[in-house]
Amino acid sequence: MDESEDHQRRLGMGAVGQLLGVPRLTVWWWVKTGKLTATGVDDGQPWWSEDDVYEWALDPRSTRWSGRVPITSWPPMPYNTAFDTTVELPGAVALRWQTRQGPVHLVWPLTNGRRRPHREWAEQLAPRGDGAVVVVSGGFSMRHGPELKALLPALPDRTYKPTWLDLAGVLGQPVPWWPMNLRDKQLLLDWKPSTDTVTAMAVPALDTGALLTMASTYQEGHPAARVLVNLARLAHAQAAGSAEQDVEIVEKANLPDGVLHIAARPLPVPDADDIDSTQRRAGWIDLLARADDLARRCVREGTRWDGGGDLPFSNPQQIEEIESTWAYKWTQRLIPTQRTAAFELLAEAGEQGDALVDPDTDAPVWRSGGNYTAAMPQRLPATAPLAELILDGPVWIRTTDGKVYPAPRDSYYGISWGYGGSGPGALALLVDALLDDINAQAPADINGAPEGLEALLSRKLPNHTVLTRAQLEAARRGEPVIIAVDDVDQDEDEDDE
């Protein structure tokens, strides 16, 4: 026995069966019939190395077992490989090469495609369990380039991570690579090994077709047209910038020449001009009031972009009318309204329910059964100062004229109390702003509130706790605030009006 054999992992019949995913009895039969020859014998027991088992499984003279062998153990085949075709999959496109050992499928998930379990792709591409299936993921390694995840088609629960060097060695040619934002279905389906690097429009995260079509229905200078065109340009510029960044990362990776070929580069898109926030808000208010399907699609895309940062209301919350007196009285003031594009914030298309509106804030409310979903205002239209903060679901604001409003909130951050975290931090910032200006925009931050105010709202106060203006101002000054039992539910039976 030579020195190299001493350092090999020795596999018995059971371990060979586990490696190839077959019963031990099958391996015993292979040995008995002379199909599988042992690497060596130790104390009368045959053993095999992993390399020898995989080499035997890939030998064309034996049964074809390539779907059970990682591509990292396939031999280089520079003269026995040919590109075959492209295959359209749900949410992806696969490139297929035919090799001496079997087909190799390289799967490209599409930019905005609906992702499917990798196992489903493997079953569709290799129903007989042969060959190799490799999926390009979204990560990067400076040593190995874009990350790959492979499945054994005959044993799809087993995955492993090959490199582009492994793949190029098996295929005997540079392997094409597309940045994530350039994985357009038609671009991939049209690819051939003779195709030069193309310059193409990166696929944006938004449906910019809907945005630009809607913009064309307005006069050029209308706020809605300006905001829609601007949002489309922002989405295209972001996609192009992301694709260009991916290309730069790949070019800096330590990959040998002839391993990876950049198949596409992004078409440059200039940065979008900034639009005054008042113009943006005016444009969205016009769109929210429309009832056509195109407007609904645009609102949907706008909220996908930034959660509805320029909308007068966003951040939907569930409200139960039986939760408190404040919630019940709020539901009683709601009035029926037409289902406009604003309700895209609250309900799926075709969902059954009632379209309502809060007349005090103009915020849309969706009622389905006994459940209410309301978009929260980003600022209050109140005409009187803050009188009380009511810790409830949601948090409520009472003004000195007796009116109660859902507490305004930013399109991204939520507000809450009772722990040390972002929710109480955002609520403390909001209270600090409303104490000075009841019409203040809900802050788009979670840090920076007065320490005493944040400490008060981080306390584990029970639901229905009512904090008066005097208590909130004292906390803001850093003075201790005592919460008496009478501060809880104290106004449950009072009239708001």
Q: What is the pLDDT of residues 66-107, one digit of tens each?
A: 999 999 999 887 667 899 999 999 999 999 999 988 899 999
Domain with CATH 1.10.1660.10 in the chain: 3-63
pLDDT on residue 43: 86
Tens digits of residue pLDDT in 450-470: 999 999 999 999 999 999 999
- Does the pLDDT value for residue 431 go beyond 50? yes
**pLDDT of 236-245, one tens digit each?**
999 999 999 9
Instruction: Please tell me the predicted confidence (pLDDT) of residue 112.
Output: 80
- Is 2 a residue whose pLDDT tops 60? no
Cα–Cα dist 245/251, whole Å: 10
Question: How much is the pLDDT for 200?
Answer: 96
pLDDT tens by residue, 134-144: 999 878 887 78
**Average pLDDT of the segment spanning 273-297:** 94
Tell me, what's the pLDDT at 493?
39
pLDDT at 492: 42
CA-CA-CA-CA dihedral for 481, 483, 488, 493, to nearest 10:
-60
Three-state DSSP class for residue 399: strand
Whether the per-residue pLDDT at 199 is higher than 90: the answer is yes
- The pLDDT score that the predictor gives to residue 6 is 47
Residue 4 confidence class, pLDDT cut points 50, 70, 90: very low
Highest mean pLDDT among 39-53, 77-91, 214-228, 270-284: 214-228
In this structure, of 61-70, 98-107, 307-316, the range with the lowest mean pLDDT score is: 61-70
pLDDT the model gives residue 494: 39
- Taken in order 67, 68, 70, 74, is the CA torsion positive or negative? negative
CA distance 93 to 190: 11
Integer CA distances (angstroms), 349 to 14, 112, 139, 300, in order: 56, 20, 34, 11
pLDDT at 350: 73
DSSP labels, 43-76:
TTEEEB-HHHHHHHHH-TTS---GGGS-GGGSPP
- 3-63: CATH number: 1.10.1660.10
pLDDT averaged over every residue in the chain:
90
For 142-174, write each residue's pLDDT tens digit: 778 899 999 999 998 999 999 999 999 999 999
pLDDT score recorded for residue 496 = 39
pLDDT at 60: 72
